[in-house]
């Protein structure tokens, strides 16, 4: 094993299980480096909370992610990742990102903001449905 990809954050604030800073991120990143591993950080896109109806802007999520993981987004480490998936059924967040109409635009804006803040172009991590929507937009044939 030569690298570790670690969750750093979800959403745009450290307030609950739908939006948070992973409390073990910094310790895990330091341990990975001590073990000789290259570190990468990822952010779980919250985007929208179906339970509350609240939307989270791509800029606010990007800024929060960089505030948590910025020290690990640098030359010699893995590029940062944006994780786009639906929350599990029954989750209190209960967000279905695959039906979010502005997903492709949201992802593009988040990617641009992280690049603007760090100088590093992020990578998208997603299942097939979310990847197609993120890259092409909903309803666009492959």
Residue 116 CB burial class (10 angstroms; 0-12, 13-18, ≥19): exposed
Please give the residue that has the higher pLDDT: either 88 or 121: 121
The DSSP element (H or E) to which 64 belongs, if any, is helix 58-69
Q: What is the mean pLDDT of the chain?
A: 84
pLDDT digits (tens, 9 = 90+) for 98-136: 566 678 888 899 999 999 999 999 998 876 655 555 555
Domains of the chain: 3-136 (3.20.20.80)
Phi, psi of 26 (to 5 degrees): -60, -45
Phi, psi of 6 (to 5 degrees): -120, 140
pTM: 0.85
* Longest Cα separation, the chain: 46
């Amino acid at each position: 094993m030569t690298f570790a990809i670690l969750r750093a954050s979800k959403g745009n604030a450290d307030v609950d299980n739908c939006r948070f800073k992973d409390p073990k991120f910094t310790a895990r990143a330091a341990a990975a480096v001590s073990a000789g591993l290259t570190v990468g950080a990822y952010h779980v896109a919250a985007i929208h909370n179906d339970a509350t109806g609240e939307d989270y802007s791509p800029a606010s999520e990007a800024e929060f992610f960089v505030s948590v993981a910025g020290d690990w987004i640098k030359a010699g480490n893995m590029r940062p990742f944006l994780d786009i998936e639906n929350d599990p059924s029954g989750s209190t967040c209960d967000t279905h990102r695959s039906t979010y109409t502005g997903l492709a635009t949201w992802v593009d804006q988040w990617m641009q903001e992280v690049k603007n803040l760090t100088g590093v172009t992020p990578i998208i991590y997603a299942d097939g449905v979310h990847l197609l929507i993120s890259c092409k937009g909903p309803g666009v044939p492959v």
